[in-house]
A and B are shown apart, each in its own frame.
Chain A
Amino acid sequence: MTKNSSHASRIGQKSAKWIYGLTMFFLVLSGFGQMPLYKRYYIADIPGLKWVSDFYITHYLHYLAAIVFLGFISYKITDYLLAFRKTHLITLSGYIRGVWITGIVFSGACLVINNFTGKWFSDSFIIFLDLAHTGFVMLLFITAVYCKISKKKWIMARVG
């Protein structure tokens, strides 16, 4: 790898971290905004944050953040398969986080479909989707905190 491409790779990694972090922040902010919490617990009273108690705004923002997130994870998965698969392994914590993200994406996609006109799923499945979506987010959050503290990476270099 040339000096220039190595520099570009570092910038790319930093950008990816920022995109992932910011997207996650807005997904979580707008996702919890789907529950009536922000007005009750004074978050919407903070100057400049009144909009977080508007369910339509947070709903729209959640969709926008989800679009960026889907593009980002598709990029990272393809990037790994094409450029890193031969030299790097996905770690156990990487697989675990991958499972939680798959759950979030699947349940989220079903909820997006459900929001179109029509009766798409049974009432009990919709309740399951609501709970599963929140549950997977909580599991990803706990796993992410653990990985941050114990410095677990998504991928590691193959040995030998």
Chain B
Amino acid sequence: MSKGLSRRSFLRGSMAAGAAIAASTIPGVVSARDDSTQLATLLDISKCIGCEACVEACEEVNGHKYPNPQKPFPKMFPPRVPVADWTDKKDVTDRLTPYNWLYIQRAIVDVNGEETEINIPRRCMHCVNPPCVKLCPFGSAQQQDNGLSRIDPDICMGGAKCKLVCPWKIPERQTGVGMYLDVLPSLAGNGAFYKCDRCYERVAQGELPACIEVCPEDVQTIGPRDEILKEAHTLAKEMNGYIYGKEENGGTNTFYVSPVPFDKLNASVDIGPGMPHLKPVKDTMADANNIAAAMVIAPLAGVAAAAGKFYKLTRTEDVSKGGTQNDKK
């Protein structure tokens, strides 16, 4: 699919401007100016018409952050290390790639006896406790105070840990960019990973993320997490619908509200590389965090064990000395 500046995208740009003006008057749009509050987004997917205006706006706003790899790529060792090169597939918009951080996932489902197309804008969920950030061994995936997570491609080694620990496998790799080129280009690392950063520069300036601003159907709303969650519940109640993203992975900053159960949507959408699922997700950080308390108890147990041993030893010696003295008597 072409991503060039077509008449279609020009029209969408005009619609975007209109939508931006309209958005400022919509009660559901909450100001995103406070940078210390966790911000969440609400997506009413019953409204999404799948026009891809958000997808194009994302590229227009974030295109300057897309990878610009050096070629030829360093020869990888061992040879089985996969080269991920999207430079000839920059126009792909039907999945997530390093050059496409948002796409529309489509499901055909039965709604009140009618076959209906449901369109779901998919991108990073911006988890409340993001494993991609917390488990990155180089600190290149970062979380901001306002809850958004992003990957700094300049210090990313491209090891894929962020993708492997992500329950939705969101980040996408491009070989030939990033820090590994200056460290051990053949032996360690393999490019850099890219994903939605929720337009962090725009949000820092009090603007809306491009995908929200441009949407002609006002599918998305952004604001403080607690307020947005309340809105999600209200909306779900109104449409007798379902919420995805509230409990998933211990909670995310993206709430999808749908008139159709998410297991039905999950069964209908295409799932695969760059195409995330809609399944329930357990809190991936919980298992380790739950045993962390033992790290406080363990030193106390160590001290108690050594003190007990010392007490036992001195008592044994006292008894032994006492016994010897008695023998002498």
Q: Which residues of A pack against B, CB within 8 Å?
A: 1-2, 5, 34-37, 40-42, 55-56, 59-60, 63-64, 66-68, 70-79, 82-83, 109, 112, 114-119, 123, 126-127, 129-130
Contact = CB atoms under 8 A, between A and B. Distances in A.
B302 A71 contact: yes
Given A5-B313, A56-B165, A112-B292, A75 B285 contact: no
B144 A119 contact: yes
A109 B285 CA distance: 16
Given A63-B292, A70-B299, A127 B138 contact: yes
A79 B291 contact: no
B78 A41 contact: yes
B292 A55 contact: no
Interface of B: 78, 80-81, 128-129, 134-135, 137-139, 142-145, 155, 159-161, 164-165, 188, 250, 284-285, 287-289, 291-292, 294-295, 298-303, 305-307, 309-310, 313, 316-317, 320
Given A40-B81, A59-B288, A115-B134, A70 B307 contact: no
A127 B291 CA distance: 24
A115 B288 contact: yes
Contact of A55 (B142, B164, B306, B309): B164
A127 B288 CA distance: 21
Given A56-B288, A78-B306, A130-B137, 8 more contacts: A36-B164, A40-B81, A67-B298, A68-B298, A75-B303, A78-B302, A78-B310, A83-B309
Contact of B298 (A37, A74, A126, A130): A74
7 contacts: A1-B317, A36-B159, A67-B295, A71-B302, A78-B310, A119-B145, A129-B139
B172 to A, nearest CB: 16
Nearest to B285: A115
A114 B302 contact: no
Contacts of A82: 306-307, 310
A63 B296 CA distance: 12
Given A42-B78, A67-B294, A82-B310, A74 B129 contact: no
B295 A5 contact: no
A87 to B, nearest CB: 13
User: 7 nearest interchain CB pairs?
Assistant: A74-B302, A78-B306, A127-B139, A36-B159, A75-B302, A71-B298, A74-B299
Contact of A117 (B78, B129, B294): B129
B151 to A, nearest CB: 12
